Structure 1
Amino acid sequence: MKQQTKQEILYRFPDGFWWGSATSATQIEGAANEGGKGPNIWDYWYEKEPNRFFNGVGPSVTSDFYHRYKEDIALMKEIGHNSFRLSISWSRLIPGGIGDVNPTAVQFYNNVINELLENEIEPFVTLFHFDMPLAMQELGGWESRDVVDAYARYAKICFELFGDRVKKWFTHNEPIVPVEGGYLYDFHYPNIIDFQRAVQVAYHTIIAHAKAVQVFKQMNIPDGKIGIILNLTPSYPRSSHPADVKAAHIADLFFNRSFLDPAVKGEYPQDLVDLLREYGYLPVTKEGDQKLIKENTVDILGINYYQPRRVKTKEHLPNPEAPFMPDRFFDYYAMPGRKMNPHRGWEIYEKGIYDILMNVKENYGNIECFISENGMGVEGEERFRDEDGMIHDDYRIEFIREHLKWVHKAIQEGANVKGYHVWTFMDNWSWTNAYKNRYGLVAVDLENNRKRTIKKSGYWFKTLVENNGF
């Protein structure tokens, strides 16, 4: 493949830029019933309703990183990674969520961390990526203060076990998603549709986050930083009409600022509090919570971006009998002429990534941040495989490149962006979608012993990193 010469680099990134990818334990480890791991909500839900998962593929084997991490980390190095975000499985490390630590899991995560470091890849570690231990869900999941305390204990154990080598920690990945999926829109277990419980889950997630940050800061890990990973989806109004603008503002409050403001500023947006109060949906709080949130803000922010949210004011009055939902205040809006990823049904809007970064710069103290996920899922990639076995995913190269142009522009304009992680390193299992859409720089052949093959995008990524730009 033709290498770019140095002269052709139009978009150069700062020295020490973090290039890599992100994934999560449940989506790549497999070995769901091995090594002393306890069940999580995904193992349980799949057992109960396998029909809810694409082609009936569950989380038991996934991409088998548990057994093949050495081979995978060698491939990461080969395609240019200098950093990699993974998550620890709470139910693998502490099978019951509380109680004894599983020594087999400690050995596994030590091996992975050490292997990454030996390959000069810095581990970024997420503590919670959608995979609530089943025993904790049975206690009420994030509705329960006991689970919040169990999570704080789990976080402390992780910092003690791995904090000598892991310097970048993240409490939660996309914490709004378990709220939406599990308590509003029925795409995660426990499949509850109840706005009051959703509000409580979201609130306790922030309390759990703040408690983990507090523990981390008390431990004083040298060079350690702690943050949170948020999927910040810009809310664009259909028009400048005040009703459309208000609709977009409310969508932004629910889906972005409900986590962004407390995590970075240490307080909730007053507009959100007023709205919840007006409709009688404030969460149950405890004395000392406000102080806890205020004093335990993040050092670093991870930003996941895939698509914009476009909204307009309601066309019709909400059904008074229907469950209360965020979309009581807005309708989604399909902008004419928008560019689409037809496989995922998502709009591709590259400038959105710049708009998020400018918002963080201007309204959130220009906190140190990085793009922690950005990627493109495509169904049926096999059709782009050549006779040598390589998948020619030019659409993914274009997707990454066009987003990076806007990241570069944000950096030029002073945004404090330190890196870019693509979702994801290799094709992984994606919740109820299983392997329907492929996101990896490396293909995983499920029919052929999960054989790994670097895609064209993987080689492109390698050149990108070698040149620190394109």
Structure 2
Amino acid sequence: MTPEELAAKLPPGFVLGVSTSAYQIEGASDLRGPAGWDRFAADPGVILDGTDALVAADHYHRMPQDVGLMKELGVDAYRFSISWPRVQPGGQGPANPTGLDFYDRLLDELLAAGIRPMATLYHWDTPLEIDELGGWAKRDTAYRFADYVRICGEAFGDRVADWVTINEPATLALEGYTLDVHSPGTALWVAGARAAHHLLLGHGLAVRALREVPVTGRIGISNAHTPVFAATSHWRDRFAARNFDILSNRVFGDPVLLGKRAPGLVGLGVRLAALPHWGDRKIIAEPIDFYGVQYYFPSRVAAGPPHVKVGTHDGHSKAMLDLPLRLEPWPEYEVTGFGWPDSPDLLPVLLGQLADRYGGRLPPLIFTEGGASYPDRPQPDGSVDDDQRIDYLESHISAVVDQVPGVEVEGYFVWSLLDNFEWAAGYTQKFGLIAVDPETQERRPKSSFDWYRRVLAARER
């Protein structure tokens, strides 16, 4: 399919954008407060290549150049995140004027370039001081977060078109608090259960805070969703798959969209089923204007402990060896650099599941992230021909715009604009449309950048 043919499939008004997150690209760590991820990354062995994000892609100092590249690309919108420790070092007290000034300048640059701003208020960079007090496992963090959100709403509420409260609470609760793959690096089910609830509570409090300001933009949340399948028809595998589906999808979707807890978990998830303070569900279920979906892969689940070399899709830890289930490979699909199955045909399956589960309570959807990592070996002239990424994005965007009954999809944001610090994988996984030289910070658009530019330019307005 040519870029022009894909463009012809896009419905009128369909938004195409790019996504990043503050911690993964900004750098300038000396101009913000410390984040929990700073401490986590400093521990030997937790980051695959031993790197950190103290400089990252140096977006803080190169922001005008990066906005210029987005303007050249022709995107409709840019989803970025606001760094909590940059705006409110320590997670409490007054705002940091230097931090506010950076996002003021970013928003002004975006609007001058004709790019719609979508701001994510929390993309995992918890202030270190809050992590040291227990992080999201403590209820007070949800209220601290709401205070910070109010600061952002008052400062930027006249210019941000779309607000995302929290990015992928499922990933943080499971991989950060339960499985010790991400910061803060705990391996406690009870901490994961509490973090899951407090993240949802923080979302609801954030929605209320933004509306009280009030801001002019729309408000939503972004959740990672994965269609789950049992590895075999055996009842143990089906049982394990049901629990994994609830943990990955429904623990976070049901309270926000239905105002009730997910179906009861048995065995693996029994502690997550007993979440505290369910009187908070009215706050958690505050009406939202859109629901962000992030689809990267399906999950094939089998009963039994993981093999030593099989972890989650993001990494490995000793805590995973105690799980009563494991993720099995998908030999029928090609895989990305992360080993994730390239499976656009299962994207409509996911959309159908969301429609079936949430019906009329499902607001318009936005794919707030979607993309793939590949080795991306530069040519002698520095160019990067990333045909695999082009094929991936073409097939996934095409699948998104195909009609699924009961689902309205408003747009798709490519992850990511720039090669960046990819959490526990460090800089080993490259998702960007633009290559970033780790030594010089030179930006070089890849072939996928040119392909995406052609898609954007060929659309009917």
User: Separation in 1 of the partners of 2:25 and 2:374?
Assistant: 18
Given the alignment of the two structures, is residue 312 of structure 1 paired with residue 302 of structure 2, yes or no?
A: yes
**Cα deviation, residue 181, structure 1:** 2.0
Q: TM-score scaled to structure 2, two decimals?
A: 0.90
Instruction: Judge conservation of contact 1:196–1:283 (CA < 8 Å) in 2.
Output: no
Pairing partner for 1:245 from 229, 238, 247:
238
User: Separation in 1 of the partners of 2:383 and 2:272?
Assistant: 56
User: Separation in 2 of the partners of 1:43 and 1:3?
Assistant: 43
**Cα deviation, residue 324, structure 1:** 9.8
Instruction: Judge conservation of contact 2:193–2:275 (CA < 8 Å) in 1.
Output: yes
**Cα deviation, residue 386, structure 1:** 3.7
Pairing partner for 2:288 from 291, 298, 309:
298
**Cα deviation, residue 353, structure 1:** 1.8
Given the alignment of the two structures, is residue 415 of structure 1 paired with residue 412 of structure 2, yes or no?
A: no
SS in 1 for 2:191: helix
Given the alignment of the two structures, is residue 429 of structure 1 paired with residue 421 of structure 2, yes or no?
A: yes
Aligned to 2:315: none
Pairing partner for 2:30 from 21, 29, 33:
33
User: Separation in 2 of the partners of 1:152 and 1:325?
Assistant: 36
Given the alignment of the two structures, is residue 401 of structure 1 paired with residue 367 of structure 2, yes or no?
A: no
SS in 2 for 1:125: strand
Aligned to 2:334: 339
User: Separation in 1 of the partners of 2:319 and 2:388?
Assistant: 40
Aligned to 1:201: 195
Aligned to 1:16: 13
**Cα deviation, residue 352, structure 1:** 2.4
1:74-124 Cα distance to aligned partner (Å, 9 max, x none): 101111211011000000000110012100111110000110111111111
- Could you say what the CA RMSD is over the residues aligned between the two structures, in angstroms? 2.5
User: Separation in 2 of the partners of 1:214 and 1:126?
Assistant: 16
User: Separation in 1 of the partners of 2:249 and 2:35?
Assistant: 27
Aligned to 1:122: 116
Given the alignment of the two structures, is residue 372 of structure 1 paired with residue 368 of structure 2, yes or no?
A: yes
Q: TM-score scaled to structure 1, two decimals?
A: 0.89
Instruction: Judge conservation of contact 2:255–2:281 (CA < 8 Å) in 1.
Output: no
1:187-266 equivalences under 5 Å are: 187-222=181-216, 224-266=217-259
1:90-169 equivalences under 5 Å are: 90-169=84-163
User: Separation in 1 of the partners of 2:41 and 2:271?
Assistant: 36
**Cα deviation, residue 388, structure 1:** 4.1
**Cα deviation, residue 240, structure 1:** 4.4
1:188-239 Cα distance to aligned partner (Å, 9 max, x none): 22321111111011111111111111222333433x2111111101111224
CA distance 1:280–1:28, shift in 2 (3 Å)? closer
**Cα deviation, residue 440, structure 1:** 0.6
Q: Report the residue type matching 1:371 in the other structure.
A: F
Deviates more, 1:8-17 or 1:21-30: 8-17
CA distance 1:346–1:141, shift in 2 (3 Å)? same
1:167-178 equivalences under 5 Å are: 167-178=161-172
CA distance 1:280–1:128, shift in 2 (3 Å)? closer
Instruction: Judge conservation of contact 2:291–2:364 (CA < 8 Å) in 1.
Output: yes
Aligned to 2:76: 82
CA distance 1:276–1:378, shift in 2 (3 Å)? closer
Q: Report the residue type matching 1:300 in the other structure.
A: F
**Cα deviation, residue 137, structure 1:** 0.9
User: Separation in 2 of the partners of 1:325 and 1:155?
Assistant: 37
1:340-378 Cα distance to aligned partner (Å, 9 max, x none): 22x312211112222222222332234201111111112
1:377-431 Cα distance to aligned partner (Å, 9 max, x none): 123x22xx345432110000000011122112236x4520000111100111111
Q: Report the residue type matching 2:300 in the other structure.
A: R
Given the alignment of the two structures, is residue 452 of structure 1 paired with residue 446 of structure 2, yes or no?
A: no
1:160-184 Cα distance to aligned partner (Å, 9 max, x none): 1101010211111111122122222
Aligned to 2:459: 468
Alignment coverage as a number of residue pairs: 447
Instruction: Judge conservation of contact 1:3–1:463 (CA < 8 Å) in 2.
Output: no
1:241-268 Cα distance to aligned partner (Å, 9 max, x none): 5443332221110111111111222221
Q: Report the residue type matching 2:407 in the other structure.
A: A
User: Separation in 1 of the partners of 2:321 and 2:256?
Assistant: 23
User: Separation in 2 of the partners of 1:86 and 1:331?
Assistant: 33
Deviates more, 1:59-68 or 1:139-148: 139-148
Instruction: Judge conservation of contact 1:23–1:424 (CA < 8 Å) in 2.
Output: yes
User: Separation in 1 of the partners of 2:437 and 2:259?
Assistant: 45
Instruction: Judge conservation of contact 1:195–1:325 (CA < 8 Å) in 2.
Output: no
User: Separation in 2 of the partners of 1:135 and 1:312?
Assistant: 39
Pairing partner for 1:390 from 363, 380, 383:
383
SS in 2 for 1:128: coil
User: Separation in 1 of the partners of 2:413 and 2:271?
Assistant: 39
SS in 2 for 1:438: coil
CA distance 1:422–1:278, shift in 2 (3 Å)? closer
User: Separation in 2 of the partners of 1:367 and 1:148?
Assistant: 24
Instruction: Judge conservation of contact 1:360–1:367 (CA < 8 Å) in 2.
Output: no
User: Separation in 2 of the partners of 1:454 and 1:238?
Assistant: 40
1:277-330 Cα distance to aligned partner (Å, 9 max, x none): 9669623327x4133224x142211111111110134489xxxxx9799942x3
Q: Report the residue type matching 1:147 in the other structure.
A: T
Q: Report the residue type matching 1:213 in the other structure.
A: V
CA distance 1:180–1:401, shift in 2 (3 Å)? same
User: Separation in 2 of the partners of 1:427 and 1:441?
Assistant: 7
Instruction: Judge conservation of contact 1:207–1:293 (CA < 8 Å) in 2.
Output: yes
CA distance 1:371–1:3, shift in 2 (3 Å)? closer
CA distance 1:414–1:281, shift in 2 (3 Å)? closer
CA distance 1:463–1:150, shift in 2 (3 Å)? same
